[in-house]
């Protein structure tokens, strides 16, 4: 009896999460949503989305990759510096770079607009959105790398490399980076996933000529047929689900090291 | 390579003096051990020699004729074996051993040849391709030694290289390490808190206490002629006898002992193995505890001196606690130190 109840609750919870998704996906491949499935299945809507929003998809991918590069270049050394110099100052810096997590994206975007809004060239460029994404995703990279670095005896490993003749740069690339790799990978997947899916902040920063994937999604919901919007959701799922799976796998690996 | 250390001291920002000004000379090919309890400054001294810590101003570190005082660690060409080994988990055994040679920018073929040579020397052939995580503690220790030795360092530094191993393995690896270091023929400094290790491996032992070298000498010299109470206790496990010396007589609560020479004003020490049970001995004592240690008994005695006196007794049987026994101590096995040395 207890088991049956458990199963029922589990199935209900799964249904609660899955039914809207399935319905939305189905709507994206239905000829006419208001007539229902009986009107037939089609991939035409996906084609329409591609025609209308391919640029959004590529823009999002581009921004996500650029965001990844920037967070790697800033985040990995930052995590290293924090891990090597534990102390009150490091805690403070850590809290400070984590602030964007607690502040609503809208507020962050407003601050960026106030600061840079008058620089027209920058304001109209995709790099403006990139700056917002970097601010928002950087703490995830830093924390992910830092937790792996904190779990290994970094100081002694580096001292070992130093006695063997390795200068600071060699130590960083030969010892620090390879041993932080699981954390870097987990952080990288998180950054890409978050950047592709980010809406709050991007919606404030975007221009009519620069719509990212989620902004395009909102646009299609507001102004297109429901079938097109749903087909768009479908494309979004196809892109984001593999990333989510990879992210989970990578974090599990990173956690094995932290143990 | 000869190592010359002058005026090496270390004061931490808080004002704690980890190491008081220390001079040390180590000859070519010599193996010297820094021996002392934790906090005596031995690891600090080793790390200053390596370049992992900076000494206070005024220090001088010379490797043969080269002034190394201000050289960073990576330019000192020292090989170091860390207590935790610090092997790179992202590289194989070969990768670890070859890393120092790679840093020297040697061609691939030369690196491979040298790595093979060192692997053979350290008998690591079966493990060459393994990951560090797949090695036992003893194997890791040998890889750490091989890695430190492969780039032909000028000086080999070992920081408690055996203390991460379990007791059974430690004894065996101690002898192995001693043999390998002799085979290397390299100048080496070896930090330990274990006097057996120091004696088994080193040509000379520097006994350290509270930031200074209390005495440096061959293991025999330290054991037989300690120059102060700390060395007498730490190396020889000597016990202070207390009592009162008049000429060549030592008056103790349990009787009077003869000394080898008149020693007025000095303090007397003795080692437990030199205290003998003897029917006609001059000291009377009461047995308070008896511990059987396989090759011998360790007998705690009260009444002979102000403190508990221990006797290592080799024999088929031992007296029972509560019994009264008589003890003898040969005059030449009583160590006498002047009061200032006895207080050190």
CB B159 within 8 A of CB B83: yes
Cβ of B82 within 8 Å of Cβ of A165? The answer is no
Per-residue pLDDT, A175: 93
Calculate how close chain A gets to B78, using CA atoms only, in Å: 6
Beta bridge partners of B256: B251
In chain A, what residues touch B84 (CB-CB under 8 Å)?
153, 156
Residue in chain B closest to A159 (alpha carbons) equals B52
Cβ of B86 within 8 Å of Cβ of A152? The answer is no
**Successive 10-residue mean pLDDT values, chain A, 259 residues:** 88 89 82 78 83 86 94 95 89 86 86 87 88 93 92 93 95 93 91 91 86 86 82 84 85 72
Interface test with A, best of B13, B52, B75, B164 (most A CBs within 10 A): B52
Cβ of B74 within 8 Å of Cβ of A159? The answer is no
Question: Which helix (H) or strand (E) covers residue B302, if one does?
Answer: strand B297-302
Nearest to B73 among A156, A162, A181 (CB): A162
Per-residue pLDDT, A168: 93
Other C-beta atoms lying within 10 Å of the C-beta of residue B178: 16
DSSP for A237-248, please give it: HHHHHHHHHHHH
DSSP H helical ranges for chain A: 2-28, 44-84, 88-102, 105-116, 120-123, 126-151, 154-163, 168-171, 177-197, 200-205, 213-223, 226-258
In chain A, what residues touch B157 (CB-CB under 8 Å)?
163
Cβ of A159 within 8 Å of Cβ of B87? The answer is no
**Tokens of residue A230, six digits:** 């749903």
Cβ of A160 within 8 Å of Cβ of B86? The answer is yes
Cα–Cα–Cα angle for B276, B278, B280, nearest 5°?
Answer: 140
Interface test with A, best of B50, B76, B77, B86 (most A CBs within 10 A): B86
Nearest to B103 among A157, A159, A164 (CB): A164
pLDDT digits (tens, 9 = 90+) for B162-209: 888 888 888 888 888 888 888 888 999 999 999 889 999 999 999 999
In chain A, what residues touch B88 (CB-CB under 8 Å)?
157, 160-161, 174-175, 178-179
Distances in whole angstroms, Cα of residue A223 to Cα of each of A28, A57, A217: 15, 18, 10
CA–CA separation, B43 vs B33, rounded Å? Answer: 11
With an 8 Å Cβ cutoff, the interface of chain B facing chain A consists of 50-52, 72-80, 82, 84, 86-90, 99-100, 103-104, 147-148, 151, 157
Per-residue pLDDT, A207: 83
Interface test with A, best of B89, B145, B149, B161 (most A CBs within 10 A): B89
Cβ of B151 within 8 Å of Cβ of A167? The answer is no
Cβ of A179 within 8 Å of Cβ of B89? The answer is yes
Per CATH, the architecture of A53-258 is what? Orthogonal Bundle (1.10)
Cα–Cα–Cα angle for B266, B267, B272, nearest 5°?
Answer: 145
Cβ of A165 within 8 Å of Cβ of B77? The answer is yes
Q: Is A208 on the interface with B (CB under 8 A)?
A: no
* pTM of the predicted structure, to 2 decimals: 0.82
In chain A, what residues touch B140 (CB-CB under 8 Å)?
none
Calculate how close chain B gets to A248, using CA atoms only, in Å: 23
**Successive 10-residue mean pLDDT values, chain B, 344 residues:** 94 92 94 93 95 94 94 94 94 95 95 95 92 91 94 95 84 87 91 92 94 94 90 88 90 91 90 91 93 92 91 90 93 88 76
Cβ-Cβ contacts under 8 Å for A119 (sequence gap 6 or more): none
Cβ of A166 within 8 Å of Cβ of B104? The answer is no
Residue in chain B closest to A156 (alpha carbons) equals B86
A residues 132-191 lying closer than 8 A (beta carbon) to B: 152-153, 156-157, 159-167, 170, 174-175, 178-179, 181
The secondary structure of residue A259, as a DSSP letter, is -
B43-B48-B53-B57 Cα dihedral, nearest 10 degrees = 130
In chain A, what residues touch B78 (CB-CB under 8 Å)?
163
Beta strands B212-217; B204-209: pairing state: antiparallel
A residues 58-117 lying closer than 8 A (beta carbon) to B: none
Beta strands B31-35; B188-192: pairing state: parallel
**Tokens of residue B124, six digits:** 């690591």
Cβ of B79 within 8 Å of Cβ of A163? The answer is yes
The secondary structure of residue A4, as a DSSP letter, is H
CB B301 within 8 A of CB B310: yes
In chain A, what residues touch B103 (CB-CB under 8 Å)?
164-166, 170
CB pairs < 8 Å spanning A and B: 67
Q: Is A218 on the interface with B (CB under 8 A)?
A: no
Calculate how close chain A gets to B155, using CA atoms only, in Å: 11
In chain B, what residues touch A167 (CB-CB under 8 Å)?
72, 74
């Amino acid at each position: 009896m207890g088991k049956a109840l458990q199963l029922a609750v589990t199935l209900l919870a799964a249904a609660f999460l899955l039914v809207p998704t399935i319905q939305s996906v189905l709507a994206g491949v239905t000829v006419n949503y208001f007539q229902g499935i009986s009107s037939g299945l089609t991939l035409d809507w996906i084609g329409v989305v591609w025609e209308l929003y391919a640029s959004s998809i590529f823009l999002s991918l581009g921004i996500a990759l650029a965001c990844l590069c920037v967070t790697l270049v800033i985040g990995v050394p930052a995590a290293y510096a924090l891990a090597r110099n534990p102390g009150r100052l490091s805690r403070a810096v850590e809290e400070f770079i984590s602030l964007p997590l607690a502040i609503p994206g809208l507020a962050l975007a407003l601050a960026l607009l106030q600061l840079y809004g008058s620089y027209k060239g920058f304001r109209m460029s995709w790099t403006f959105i990139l700056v917002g994404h970097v601010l928002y995703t950087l703490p995830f990279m830093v924390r992910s790398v830092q937790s792996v670095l904190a779990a290994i005896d970094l100081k002694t490993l580096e001292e070992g490399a130093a006695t063997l003749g390795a200068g600071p740069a060699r130590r960083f690339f030969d010892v620090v980076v390879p041993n932080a790799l699981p954390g870097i990978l987990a952080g990288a997947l998180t950054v890409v996933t978050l950047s592709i899916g980010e809406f709050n902040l991007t919606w404030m920063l975007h221009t009519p000529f620069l719509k990212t994937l989620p902004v395009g999604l909102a646009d299609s919901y507001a102004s297109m047929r429901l079938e097109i919007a749903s087909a768009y959701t479908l494309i979004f799922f196809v892109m984001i689900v593999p990333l989510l799976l990879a992210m989970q796998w990578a974090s599990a690996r990173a956690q094995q090291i932290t143990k | 390579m000869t190592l010359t250390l002058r005026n090496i001291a270390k004061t931490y920002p808080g004002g704690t003096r980890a190491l008081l000004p220390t001079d040390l000379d180590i000859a070519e090919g010599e193996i010297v051990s820094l021996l002392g309890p934790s906090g005596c400054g031995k690891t600090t001294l080793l790390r200053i020699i390596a370049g992992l810590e900076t000494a206070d101003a005024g220090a001088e570190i010379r490797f043969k004729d080269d002034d190394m005082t201000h050289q960073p660690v990576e330019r000192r060409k020292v090989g170091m074996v860390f207590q935790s080994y610090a092997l790179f988990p992202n590289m194989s055994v070969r990768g670890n051993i070859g890393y120092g040679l790679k840093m020297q920018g040697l061609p691939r073929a030369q690196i491979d040849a040298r790595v093979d040579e060192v692997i053979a020397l350290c008998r690591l052939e079966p493990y060459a391709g393994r990951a560090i995580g797949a090695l036992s503690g003893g194997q890791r220790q040998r890889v750490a030694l091989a890695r430190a030795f492969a780039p032909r360092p000028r000086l080999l530094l070992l920081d408690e290289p055996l203390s991460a191993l379990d007791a059974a393995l430690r004894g065996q690896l101690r002898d192995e390490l001693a043999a390998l270091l002799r085979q290397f023929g390299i100048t080496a400094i070896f930090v330990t808190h274990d006097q057996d290790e120091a004696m088994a491996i080193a040509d000379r032992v520097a006994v350290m206490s509270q930031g200074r070298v209390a005495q440096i000498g061959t293991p025999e010299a330290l054991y037989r002629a300690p120059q102060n109470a700390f060395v007498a206790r730490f190396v020889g496990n000597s016990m202070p006898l207390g009592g009162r010396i008049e000429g060549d007589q030592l008056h103790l609560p349990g009787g009077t002992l003869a000394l080898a020479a008149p020693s007025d004003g000095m303090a007397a020490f003795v080692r437990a193995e030199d205290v003998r049970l003897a029917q006609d001995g001059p000291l009377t004592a009461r047995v308070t505890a008896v511990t059987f240690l396989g090759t011998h008994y360790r007998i705690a005695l009260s009444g002979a001196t102000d403190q508990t006196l221990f006797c290592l007794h080799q024999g088929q049987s031992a007296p029972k606690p509560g019994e009264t026994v008589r003890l003898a101590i040969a005059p030449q096995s009583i160590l006498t130190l002047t009061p200032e040395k006895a207080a050190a």
